[in-house]
Amino acid sequence: MDIDRRLHEAGQRWRESQGPALQPPDLASLGEDAPPRQWRKALAPMAAAAAVAAIIFGFVSVNGATTGAPQLPAGSLTTPVPSVSSTSTEPSTSAARRAAAAAAAAEAARARAAAEAAVYLQSFLASWQKDGLNAAGQKYLDPSMRADQTQGNLVLIAGTVTSTQPSTALGGWVSADHFTVIANFDLRFSGNFGAWGNGVSSRFVTFVRSSAAAPYQITFATGP
Amino acid sequence: MSSTAKDAPKRLSSMEALSSMEAFSAELDRIMPVVTHVARRFAPLGDAEDVIQEACLAAWRYRHRFDPEQGSFQTWMVRILLNESYKTDGRRRRNGLLLGRLADRSHFSTQPPHGDSDRQLETLIAGLPRRQREVIELYYFVDLPVQQVAELLGISSGTVKSTLADARRRIQFRLAGEETS
């Protein structure tokens, strides 16, 4: 078939396969002179840093005032001095900070895991290409995936992991030793390609390992 | 009926036409089908909506820079969108979440409209040099006319046509190679 016609038809099919157009943002909610979001993005961490600095500074000041106060003679009666900082608000502030720090740490851990997953999947593809699927499967795949011997004769001639993203499907994130990502591949097979397909494809990939030192055992799924 | 990319975009007659939020939003609504297609072709996985939001906000913020004499509102908007897409792609690469040079095709691969034939074509397009890929995506998939592709990329119509021809030749050559191997 003429390549020009083939591209036109592929483009037409792609457009028809797309859902409705996305909606633009509601500009009215931003006000007439709303600053660009890049600015707001830059200001947010600065504001957060300033807030943390203010809390720390306040804490040190109050502590300094307490420790710097003259010592009273032992046994003397004293009236409790009200603290400068509000004890009723401190727990909630600390809790909010702890929650924010925990959320940031979890987010960073997921991003690290997704990046690690990409490298691990790439090494699986390299092993598959070099040694065949059966041999690679023994090393990388969950036993339930290894049992599928019908896929063993698939000859991978090139394979690239184009992207990975943390997924909430199939258990999502349990820990750094048990999580699921959506991975995009570009695979080329010689001859039969089984359920993989030649070219670009996506899979849900679950990574499980018994400890941080153990290798992951991975499971592929086409859908959640 | 929604507008298509090949409909000649109505040129705004003056800068004043964009200064009202209602007029600006109406213009955005009119070109959203094309904007959506461009974002889905060029933005990284899962980022099409965010890229559109960023591009719309940037366009609204810098609306005074739009010059109807230099091209249509659609062309101006799509140019902003392409820049946002590449910036987002760059950020994701730096974050280590995107490997390889291939553009993401998850929107395509999850529901391939024409099976392996289109997948093969998509893979070959993804492997083209950036300029060739841009003209192929914009002309065949977003369905923009040659003149608009030229305005968008800041090149002449003749260059768009020759780039399209080069890209088609390259795809044809690789297709022939794969079929014989």
Give the range of the structural domain holding residue B34, as residue numbers without chain letter. 1-100
Q: Nearest CA to CA, how far is A60 from chain B (Å)? A: 36
* Boundary of a domain, candidates B100, B126, B150: B100
Give the range of the structural domain holding residue A144, as residue numbers without chain letter. 107-221
Q: Is residue B118 located within the same domain as residue B160?
A: yes
Q: What is the ipTM of this complex?
A: 0.79
Q: Looking at the DSSP assignment, which residues form a beta bridge with residue A184?
A: A163, A202
Instruction: Please count the structural domains in chain B.
Output: 2
Whether the CB-CB separation of A182 and A164 falls below 8 Å is answered with: yes
Q: Nearest CA to CA, how far is A94 from chain B (Å)? A: 30
Q: Is residue B90 located within the same domain as residue B148?
A: no
- With H, G, I as helix, E, B as strand and everything else as coil, classify residue B134: helix
A200 and B105 in contact by Cβ < 8 A?
yes
Using the predicted structure, report yes or no on whether residue A81 has a pLDDT greater than 50.
Answer: no
Using the predicted structure, report yes or no on whether residue A64 has a pLDDT greater than 60.
Answer: no
Q: Is residue B134 located within the same domain as residue B58?
A: no
A131-153, pLDDT tens digit by residue?
Answer: 888 888 888 888 877 755 556 67
Per-residue pLDDT of chain B (181 residues; tens, 9 = 90+): 444 445 444 444 445 556 677 788 888 888 999 999 999 899 887 788 888 988 988 888 888 888 888 888 899 999 999 999 888 888 877 766 544 444 444 444 444 445 677 888 888 998 899 999 999 999 999 999 999 999 989 999 999 999 999 999 999 998 888 766 6
A18-52, pLDDT tens digit by residue?
Answer: 877 787 777 665 554 444 444 445 455 565 666 66
Which of A8, A24, A190 has its CB closest to that of B28?
A24
Q: Is residue B34 located within the same domain as residue B118?
A: no
d(CA A179, CA A166): 8
DSSP labels, chain A: --HHHHHHHHHHHHHHHS-SPPPPP-GGGG-TTPPPHHHHHHHHHHHHHHHHHHHHHHHHHHHHHHHTSPPPPTT---PPPPPSS-TTTHHHHHHHHHHHHHHHHHHHHHHHHHHHHHHHHHHHHHHHHHH-HHHHHHHHB-HHHHT-GGGTT-EEEEEEEEEEEE-SSTT-EEETTEEEEEEEEEEEEES--TTT-SEEEEEEEEEE-SSTTSPPEEEEES--
Q: Which residue has the higher pLDDT, A53 or A192?
A: A192
Q: Is B105 a domain residue?
A: no
For the whole model, what pTM was predicted? Answer: 0.48
Q: What is the largest CA-CA distance in chain A?
A: 101
A23 and chain B: CB distance < 8 Å anywhere?
Answer: yes
A28 and B21 in contact by Cβ < 8 A?
yes
Q: Is residue B87 located within the same domain as residue B115?
A: no
- pLDDT, residue A69, reads 40
Q: Which residue has the higher pLDDT, A40 or A128?
A: A128
How much is the mean pLDDT over chain A? 71
Instruction: Please count the structural domains in chain A.
Output: 1
Q: Is residue B181 located within the same domain as residue B136?
A: yes
CATH number at residue B134: 1.10.10.10
Which of B24, B168, B181 has its CB closest to that of A4?
B168
Q: Is residue B42 located within the same domain as residue B94?
A: yes
Q: Is A8 a domain residue?
A: no
Q: Is B156 a domain residue?
A: yes
B45 and A165 in contact by Cβ < 8 A?
yes
Q: Is residue B95 located within the same domain as residue B151?
A: no
